[in-house]
């Protein structure tokens, strides 16, 4: 049995990761300050091998170890959240990441940094490979998140090069599944909740911008595989099946049987026009690829949203 510290463990992805690590026989300590996480996400993980620490990782690295794995998934991740909390987002990407790295260094643990496809900004290369440096506006409204993650990657590599910390970096592309917040602000919860509530579905811009959607269990599978592969440069994890936002809106309407109309709003500043991961490296390195189809994942996710709406 290995001990894993999951920072941001009460968040959407973090809670699914805690669940998977417990399932494969590890002891899991989740850490969260609930800035965007939710205690309900981990309340079912009652186990002698699971514990929780309420703590703000930006404040200190004083967390009782030792650990075999330290996984840093702490950060607001939706535009609604990081634009409302830009300072907190920058702090968790800098101070929080350094404190997480200090914990890993002290324990001689494998450290994993959860980065993002936002690293690539509004990409001029398609699909996006790990060796693409990106097209990012460093002072735009989204920069608090983009630059926080870019700094996190730089800091992670510095700790690897200068302190020999055994690091991993994953770049997460659009991921969806149960436990996303109803008002998360990202496209899957937005469209699902609007359709289920019979409200107009809000499409920004023309709707011709593209995204690709990965179900959370596939993402977590890639994360767990990478933990035990000694590779320190970034690895894309996501589903390369690409579609336009307008196509996705229609899919949600069809799946929910909703009578919602589609309305159009101006495209937010620096919103990426296309987003699709090149997962060749993950395939070679981890023998990994997504296996859950979009329809299968959406059926589970929409059912979860429907139940969550009814409980409000």
Burial class (CB in 10 A: 0-12, 13-18, 19+), 148: buried
Is 145 noted as a catalytic residue in this protein? yes
> What's residue 311's pLDDT?
86
Q: Which of 69, 82, 120, 145 is catalytic?
A: 145
**pLDDT tens string 30-88:** 999 999 999 999 999 988 999 999 999 999 999 998 999 999 999 999 988 999 999 99
Domain 3-176+215-239+277-291 fold is Rossmann fold (3.40.50)
**pLDDT tens string 222-272:** 999 999 999 999 999 999 999 999 999 999 999 999 999 999 999 888 888
| pLDDT at position 220 over 80 | yes
> What's residue 24's pLDDT?
96
Q: Are 309 and 234 in contact (CB under 8 A)?
A: no
**pLDDT tens string 21-30:** 999 999 999 9
Strand pairing class (201-204; 210-212): unpaired
**pLDDT tens string 178-215:** 999 998 889 999 999 999 999 999 999 999 999 999 99
**pLDDT tens string 104-140:** 999 999 999 999 999 999 999 999 999 999 999 999 9
Q: Are 171 and 235 in contact (CB under 8 A)?
A: yes
Report pTM. 0.95
Domain ranges of the chain: 3-176+215-239+277-291
């Amino acid at each position: 049995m290995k001990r894993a510290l999951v920072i941001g463990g009460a968040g959407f992805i973090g809670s699914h990761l805690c669940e998977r690590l417990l399932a494969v026989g590890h002891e899991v300590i989740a850490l969260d300050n609930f800035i965007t996480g939710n205690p309900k996400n981990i309340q079912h993980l009652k186990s002698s091998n699971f514990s929780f620490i309420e703590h703000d990782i930006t404040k200190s690295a004083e967390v009782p170890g030792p650990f075999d794995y330290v996984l840093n998934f702490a950060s607001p991740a939706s535009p609604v959240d990081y634009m409302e909390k830009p300072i907190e987002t920058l702090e968790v990407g800098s101070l929080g990441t350094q404190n997480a790295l200090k914990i890993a260094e002290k324990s001689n643990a494998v450290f994993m940094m959860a980065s993002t496809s936002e690293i690539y900004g509004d990409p001029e290369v398609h699909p996006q490979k790990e060796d693409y440096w990106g097209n990012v506006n460093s002072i735009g409204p989204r920069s608090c998140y983009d630059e926080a993650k870019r700094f996190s990657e730089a800091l992670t590599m510095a700790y690897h090069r200068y302190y020999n910390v055994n690091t991993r970096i994953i770049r997460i592309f659009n991921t969806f599944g149960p436990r996303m917040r109803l008002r998360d602000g990202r496209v899957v919860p937005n469209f699902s909740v609007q359709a289920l509530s019979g409200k107009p579905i809000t499409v920004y811009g023309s709707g011709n911008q593209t995204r690709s959607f990965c179900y959370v269990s596939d993402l977590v599978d890639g994360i767990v595989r990478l933990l035990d592969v000694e590779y320190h440069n970034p690895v894309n994890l996501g589903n390369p099946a690409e579609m336009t936002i307008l196509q996705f809106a229609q899919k949600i309407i069809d799946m929910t049987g909703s009578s919602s109309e589609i309305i159009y709003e101006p495209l937010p500043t620096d919103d990426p026009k296309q987003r699709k991961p090149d997962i060749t490296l993950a395939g070679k390195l981890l023998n990994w690829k997504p296996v859950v189809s979009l329809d299968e994942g959406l059926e589970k996710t929409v059912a979860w949203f429907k139940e969550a709406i009814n409980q409000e």
